[in-house]
Amino acid sequence: MTMKSTLILALLFAGCFLVTNGLQQQKPPDKNHQGTHQARHPLQESEERQAGKEIVDRNTEFACKMYQEITQKSKDENLFFSPLSASTGFSMLTLGAKDYTLSQLSESLNLRNVPVKSIYEGFHYIIHSLNQPDRDLKLHMGNTIFIEDQLRVQKRFLNDVKNIYEAEAIPVDLKDPQKAITQINDYVSQKTHGKINHLIKNLDQGTMLLLIGHIYFQGEWEKKFNPKDTKEDDFFLINGKSVKVPMMYRGGKYKTAYDDQLSCTILEIPFKGNVTGLFILPDKGKLKKVEEGLNKNKLTQWRQSLKGSSVDVCLPKFSISGTYDMKKCLSGLGVTRIFDGSADLTKISPQKTLKVSQAIHKAVLKMNEKGAEAAGGTGIETLPMTVPQIIKFNRPFVIVIIDDKTQTVLFMGKIMNPK
């Protein structure tokens, strides 16, 4: 019996989240992609929106599981990733998977018992909504497939990834790995505005197809921090030691909540363009308790319990990045077959056995004081006549970034050491 030769598929995900000043005006959509923003039939849009809600719920649960899986492996390190980029990329693989490979992927992505039509309508709705050019922020999510010139890829697969995931297919000479690596890294760098460079350092021999997902968000605080108020202060690490960090300060009206069950304070800080940051500050020694209790219902409960009050916010200024081996992360969530050579991905290519050799996710987070006040606003807030609550993020805390338009979790992270 002859051994099947194996094609190698690499999955790469890049996420970048910046809070900066002076947003450039959004460019009009590329002429080649104008079709993706055309008006759709109201009934089709309604069906997609409904499917989108279902996928958002499933993705949120996946995001929390992925957070817990990564945090187990990264111990006491800073953590930052885009669960949406990962779930979108792996759901693209379901277009090419069959039988047990398909059911395993669906189970791990928390998509079990969701009709196939709803899965693809839902992801299309999310991607389409995020990439609208008229939003008051820089937010773009994209997917790209780099294909070896000689690989015969099923036309149905290429059409589906283009129409459902708004992905583009780019031919590349993978027989010249160094040239291909440069081409792909330059592409990712350009898509993340130079914030993520050198995503891949090497390609496994036999790599014939690379699937790359990227998400880039550059936002402004709805209410900016004044750099003049930033002062050096102590941030207490998990080991009891402390480091000096630049601590931003702002007093104003914010929505907050306290969770007695998980012993943590939740602070909502909005960004311009309908994106919200949830900043979760565990009580001293309660970080693990918060992380273990993190799930979709808890996030919903937190958001529903938020109430506006007068708050003095102290938040460290920082820049962090994370790089994760998704093979390790997802194997813990039950995805094994696509990595071990026994996968049935013949709906991608009928030529040979196809397996995933690399699955890398890299994300960057940068936060500082900069931002712009709402257009036309006077900058004056009506505050209740009470002593302000002080919320000082001077110990490890969790961040969840949510797109309000779709309720999608864009990014999740944990700041263990802002330095």
Q: Which two tokens stand for residue 176?
A: 């010249």
The whole-number pLDDT of residue 152 equals 83
Tell me the C-alpha distance between 77 and 244, whole Å: 17
Q: Is pLDDT at 13 greater than 80 in this prediction?
A: no
Q: Which residue has the higher pLDDT, 4 or 260?
A: 260
Q: Rounded CA gap, 311 and 414, in Å?
A: 22
Question: How much is the pLDDT for 367?
Answer: 77
pLDDT, position 195: 79
Residue 137 to residue 219: CA distance in whole angstroms? 6
Q: Where are the alpha helices (DSSP H) in 166-311?
A: 177-191, 287-292, 296-305
Distance CA 79, CA 307 (A): 28
**For residue 414, what pLDDT is reported?**
93
Tell me the C-alpha distance between 166 and 35, whole Å: 10
- Ranking 29-38, 67-76, 173-182, 359-368 by mean pLDDT, the lowest is 29-38
Does 339 score more than 90 pLDDT? Answer: no
Percent with pLDDT over 90 in the chain: 34
Task: Tell me the pLDDT tens digit for each residue of 267-309.
Answer: 999 988 888 999 999 999 999 999 999 999 999 999 999 999 9
Mean per-residue pLDDT, 134-152: 77
Instruction: Select the more confidently predicted residue: 80 or 4.
Output: 80
Confidence bin at 6 (pLDDT 50/70/90): very low
Q: What was the pLDDT predicted at 409? A: 94
Position 91: which residue type? S
**In terms of Cα–Cα distance, which of 109, 16, 55 is closest to 330?**
109
Residue 23 pLDDT = 36
Residue ranges with strand state E in 55-132: 79-81
Q: Is the pLDDT of residue 37 over 70?
A: no
Condensed to tens digits (0 to 9), the pLDDT of residues 71-121 reads: 988 878 999 888 888 888 888 888 888 888 888 888 888 998 899 899 999
The whole-number pLDDT of residue 290 equals 97
Write down the pLDDT at residue 176.
86
Lowest mean pLDDT among 55-64, 221-230, 322-331: 322-331
| Cα dihedral value 225, 228, 233, 236, nearest 10 | 10
Percentage of the chain beyond pLDDT 70 is: 84
Helices (H) and strands (E) in the chain, counts: 9, 15
Query: Amino acid identity of 27?
Result: K
pTM score of the predicted model: 0.84
| pLDDT in the model for residue 97 | 85
SS3 261: coil
- Write down the pLDDT at residue 197: 81
CATH code of the domain occupying 9-22+44-219+320-366: 3.30.497.10
d(CA 276, CA 216): 15
The owner of tokens 């007695």 is 260
pLDDT at 360: 77
Q: What is the pLDDT of residue 46?
A: 83
pLDDT of res. 385: 54
Q: pLDDT per residue over 201-228, tens digit each?
A: 888 777 777 777 778 777 788 888 888 9
Q: Assess contact for 304 and 168: CB atoms under 8 A.
A: no
Beta bridge partners, 50, equal: none
d(Cα 242, Cα 106) in Å, to the nearest integer?
43
Is the distance from CB of 78 to CB of 415 less than 8 angstroms? yes
Asked if the model's pLDDT at residue 26 lies above 70, the reply is no
The one-character DSSP state at 368 is -
d(CA 118, CA 51): 5
Q: How confident is the model at residue 381 (pLDDT cuts 50, 70, 90)?
A: very low
Q: Which two tokens stand for residue 155?
A: 């036309």
CA atoms within a 13 Å half-sphere pointing along the CA-CB vector of 91: 29
- With residue 117 as reference, give the H or E element that holds it: helix 116-130
pLDDT score for 399:
94
Dihedral angle over CA of 405, 407, 413, 414, nearest 10: 110
How many Cβ atoms are within 10 Å of 72's Cβ, its own excluded?
Answer: 11
Tokens coding 167: 């992905």
Q: What percent of the chain is helix, strand and coil (3-state, nearest 5)?
A: 30, 35, 35
Mean pLDDT to the nearest integer, 145-163 = 85
DSSP for 219-255?
E-BSSPPPGGG-EEEEEE-TTS-EEEEEEEEEEEEEE
Side-chain-side CA neighbours of residue 347 (13 Å)? 16
Q: Give me the residue spans of the domains in the chain.
A: 9-22+44-219+320-366, 227-315+384-415
How much is the mean pLDDT over the chain? 81
178 has a pLDDT exceeding 80: yes
List, in sequence order, every beta strand (DSSP E) within 317-419. 318-325, 353-367, 389-392, 397-403, 408-415
Please report, for residues 136, 142, 310, 312, the alpha-carbon distance to residue 384 in angstroms, rounded to integers and kept in the order given: 30, 43, 6, 13
Q: Looking at domain 227-315+384-415, which CATH architecture does it have? A: Roll (2.30)
Instruction: Give the pLDDT mean for 244-258.
Output: 94
SS3 186: helix
